[in-house]
Amino acid sequence: MTDWGNHLETMRANAPLVQNITNYVAMNVMANVLLAAGASPAMVHDEGEAGEFAAIAQALTVNIGTLSPHWLRGMEAAARVAHEAGTPWVLDPVAVGATAMRRDAGARLLALRPTVIRGNASEVLALAGADAAGKGADAADSVATAEEAARNLARRTGGVVAVTGAQDFVTDGERAWRVDNGHPLMPKITVMGCSLTGVVGAFLVGQDALRATVAALAFYGLAGERAGARADGPGSFQPAFLDALYSLTPDEVSAGAKVMPG
Amino acid sequence: MTDWGNHLETMRANAPLVQNITNYVAMNVMANVLLAAGASPAMVHDEGEAGEFAAIAQALTVNIGTLSPHWLRGMEAAARVAHEAGTPWVLDPVAVGATAMRRDAGARLLALRPTVIRGNASEVLALAGADAAGKGADAADSVATAEEAARNLARRTGGVVAVTGAQDFVTDGERAWRVDNGHPLMPKITVMGCSLTGVVGAFLVGQDALRATVAALAFYGLAGERAGARADGPGSFQPAFLDALYSLTPDEVSAGAKVMPG
Amino acid sequence: MTDWGNHLETMRANAPLVQNITNYVAMNVMANVLLAAGASPAMVHDEGEAGEFAAIAQALTVNIGTLSPHWLRGMEAAARVAHEAGTPWVLDPVAVGATAMRRDAGARLLALRPTVIRGNASEVLALAGADAAGKGADAADSVATAEEAARNLARRTGGVVAVTGAQDFVTDGERAWRVDNGHPLMPKITVMGCSLTGVVGAFLVGQDALRATVAALAFYGLAGERAGARADGPGSFQPAFLDALYSLTPDEVSAGAKVMPG
Domain-wise residue ranges, chain A: 5-261
Indicate the SS3 state at residue B56. coil
Continuous H helices in B38-120: 50-54, 69-85, 100-110
Q: What is the mean pLDDT of chain B?
A: 96
Q: What is the pLDDT along chain C (262 residues), one digit of tens a residue?
A: 579 999 999 999 999 999 999 999 999 999 999 999 999 999 999 999 999 999 999 999 999 999 999 999 999 999 999 999 999 999 999 999 999 999 999 999 999 999 999 999 999 999 998 666 655 566 678 899 999 999 999 999 999 999 999 999 999 999 999 999 999 999 999 999 999 999 999 999 999 999 999 999 999 999 999 999 999 999 999 999 999 999 999 999 999 999 999 8
Nearest chain B residue to C247 by CA distance is B233
B42 touching A (Cβ < 8 Å) = yes
- Residue closest to A240 by CA, chosen among A33, A61, A47: A33
pLDDT at residue B225 above 90?
yes
Contact C188 A70 (CB under 8 A): no
Residue-level pLDDT at C137: 60
Give contacts of B236 with chain C, Cβ < 8 Å. 239-240, 242-243
- Residue closest to B218 by CA, chosen among B1, B4, B2: B4
pLDDT band at residue A230 using 50, 70 and 90 as cut-offs: very high
Residue-level pLDDT at B141: 80
pLDDT at residue B208 above 90?
yes
Q: What does the alpha-carbon distance between residue B62 and residue C67 come to, in Å, rounded to a whole number? A: 25
* Tens of pLDDT, residues A111-128: 999 999 999 999 999 999
Tell me how close the Cα of C25 comes to any Cα of chain B, in angstroms: 9
Decide which of 3.40.1190.20, 3.30.540.10, 3.40.50.10470, 3.30.410.40 is the CATH code for B5-261. Answer: 3.40.1190.20
pLDDT at residue B138 above 70?
no
Mutate to test the interface with C, among B43, B67, B71, B99 (most CBs of C within 10 A): B99
Give contacts of A36 with chain C, Cβ < 8 Å. 188, 233-235
Using CB atoms, which residue from B98, B233, B237 is nearest to C53? B98
Q: How many other C-beta atoms can be found within 10 angstroms of the C-beta atom of residue A15? A: 15
For residue B191, the 8-state DSSP code is T
pLDDT at residue B177 above 90?
yes
Residue-level pLDDT at A133: 62
Strand A59-63 relative to strand B168-171, pairing: unpaired
A48 touching B (Cβ < 8 Å) = no
Contact A232 B238 (CB under 8 A): no
Give contacts of C233 with chain A, Cβ < 8 Å. 36, 242-244, 246-247
Mutate to test the interface with C, among A46, A73, A190 (most CBs of C within 10 A): A46
Residue-level pLDDT at A78: 98
A68 touching B (Cβ < 8 Å) = yes
For residue A163, the 8-state DSSP code is E
Q: Quote ipTM for the complex.
A: 0.95
Residue-level pLDDT at C141: 80
Give contacts of A24 with chain C, Cβ < 8 Å. 24
Tell me how close the Cα of C7 comes to any Cα of chain B, in angstroms: 21
C43 touching B (Cβ < 8 Å) = yes
Q: In percent, how much of chain A has pLDDT > 90? A: 93
Residues in chain C: 262
DSSP string, chain C: ---THHHHHHHHHH--EEEEE--TTTHHHHHHHHHHHT-EEE----TTTHHHHHTT-SEEEEE-TT--HHHHHHHHHHHHHHHHHT--EEEE-TTTTSSHHHHHHHHHHHTT--SEEEE-HHHHHHHTT------SSS--S-GGGGHHHHHHHHHHHTSEEEE-SSSEEEESSS-EEEE----TTGGGSTTHHHHHHHHHHHHHTTS-HHHHHHHHHHHHHHHHHHHHHH-SSHHHHHHHHHHHHHH--HHHHHHH--EEE-
Q: In percent, how much of chain C has pLDDT > 90? A: 93
How many A/B residue pairs have CB atoms within 8 Å?
A: 100
B75 is in an annotated binding site: no
A44 touching C (Cβ < 8 Å) = yes
Question: Can you say which residues of A are annotated as belonging to the binding site?
Answer: 43, 118, 164
pLDDT band at residue A141 using 50, 70 and 90 as cut-offs: confident
* Tens of pLDDT, residues A63-92: 999 999 999 999 999 999 999 999 999 999
pLDDT band at residue B37 using 50, 70 and 90 as cut-offs: very high
Tell me the CA end-to-end span of chain A in Å, nearest whole number. Answer: 15
C71 touching B (Cβ < 8 Å) = no
Residue-level pLDDT at A24: 97
Residues of chain B numbered 209-228 and touching chain C (CB < 8 Å) = none
Contact C66 A48 (CB under 8 A): no
Q: What subunits make at least 3 CB pairs under 8 angstroms with A? A: B, C
Q: What is the mean pLDDT of chain C?
A: 96
Mutate to test the interface with C, among B22, B23, B25 (most CBs of C within 10 A): B25
* Tens of pLDDT, residues A235-260: 999 999 999 999 999 999 999 999 99
Q: For the residues B94-113, what does the mean pLDDT come to?
A: 97
C99 touching A (Cβ < 8 Å) = yes
pLDDT at residue A140 above 80?
no
Contact B95 C24 (CB under 8 A): no
pTM of the model: 0.96
Residue-level pLDDT at B135: 55
Contact A40 C233 (CB under 8 A): no
